[in-house]
Structure 1
Amino acid sequence: MTIDIRMIRDRLPKEIADLESEARREGYRHITCLVDEWAAGDTRFERDGERLLGAHVGAALAGIGGMTVEPALSGALRMRRFYIRPAMRRRGIGRMLASGLLDHARSCCSIVTVHAGNAGAAKFWESLGFQASERDGHRLDLQGPSFTPQSP
């Protein structure tokens, strides 16, 4: 299985509708928010440090994830709109997508935050070195010692 991580710039991939539908069936609305905010021009991942990536397996969009400026913490970025299709989970796709975003973040900020929506998501982010924080949800200090992701 070949995983291709691609930057999304000018328009959302057409397969986003299927991803959104799957997320909604699971009770998640953050992909719907992504689509709505993109259409309105509110969030296009265009500010300094921001980025939106798609993970493709063959022609299929397996997942998506982005980072935006963290409004509550100066000099930080926030992981947002992160979702991997259920059938594609536990194959390393989420880890590759998150690593791509974190590699980019290291060049432009010192802290990355994420608001994990559930215990499973929290466990995933913690395996990447994020630590629970009352103020920020989960937080990763990029200036600290290099993290070594734990096995899932």
Structure 2
Amino acid sequence: MTLSLERTAAILPADFPELEADATADGHRHMTRLAAEFALNRTIFHATYTCRVNGRLAGVGAITDEPAMTVQTMWRMRRLYVHRQFRRREVARTIASALLLEATSKVSIVTVHAGNDGAARFWEAIGFRPVEDQEWSHEAQVLAGPEVR
């Protein structure tokens, strides 16, 4: 199995609709939102990465400013999705690591909003800690660089 990571430029890859269709079939609409956001205002994303397994689009993830009002500048990891056929193959971890590296030396905290228990377990496994009473569910400090395990 060969994993390859690519920083996405101004447009989503030509095979993105297959990933979007898988997300929709899996009950998730955030790939449709990602496509709409890319079409409307690509500049809201500090970085977007795609990951391929043996040349096939396996996942995508992006990072933006934290949309909630905060005292300090934070970034939020968002729109992370891995095709159901490619889960548990390090795709999500690879994308998350690249996004955390993007945040290093730019912000000290990266947030996420885990939409379900499985996502929460993933974020906690890579070093995010759960938080309460915030508009995000987990956060990670990236002062000295990402510490993704």
When normalised by structure 2's length, the TM-score is: 0.90
SS of 2:52's partner is strand
Q: Report the counterpart of residue 56 of structure 1 in structure 2.
A: 52
Mark the CA change 1:146 to 1:12 in structure 2 (over 3 Å): closer, same or farther.
closer
Alignment of 1:65-76 (within 5 A): 65-72=61-68, 73=70, 74-76=72-74
2:81 counterpart (80, 83, 96)? 83
SS of 2:50's partner is strand
| 1:59 CA displacement | 2.5
| 1:107 CA displacement | 2.5
Mark the CA change 1:96 to 1:146 in structure 2 (over 3 Å): closer, same or farther.
closer
Mark the CA change 1:26 to 1:33 in structure 2 (over 3 Å): closer, same or farther.
same
SS of 2:114's partner is coil
| 1:144 CA displacement | 7.3
Mark the CA change 1:146 to 1:29 in structure 2 (over 3 Å): closer, same or farther.
closer
Once the two structures are overlaid, the 10-residue window that deviates more, 92-101 or 70-79, is: 70-79
Retained in 1: the 8 A contact 2:111–2:138?
A: yes
Once the two structures are overlaid, the 10-residue window that deviates more, 65-74 or 18-27, is: 65-74
1:113 counterpart (81, 88, 111)? 111
Say if 2:149 is the partner of 1:139. no
Q: How many residues align?
A: 145
Mark the CA change 1:102 to 1:148 in structure 2 (over 3 Å): closer, same or farther.
closer
Q: Aligned partner of 1:114: which letter?
A: V
Residue segments in structure 2 that go unaligned for 5+ positions in a row: none
Cα distance between partner residues in 1 of 2:7 and 2:146: 25
Percent sequence identity over aligned pairs: 40
SS of 2:76's partner is strand
Q: Which consecutive segments of 4 or more residues in structure 1 shift more than 3 A? A: 144-148
The two structures, once aligned, show a CA RMSD in angstroms of 1.8
- Which whole-Å deviations, capped at 9, do the CAs of 1:24-49 have from their partners, x for residues lacking one? 001000000001121222xx1x35x8
When normalised by structure 1's length, the TM-score is: 0.88
Q: Report the counterpart of residue 94 of structure 2 in structure 1.
A: 96
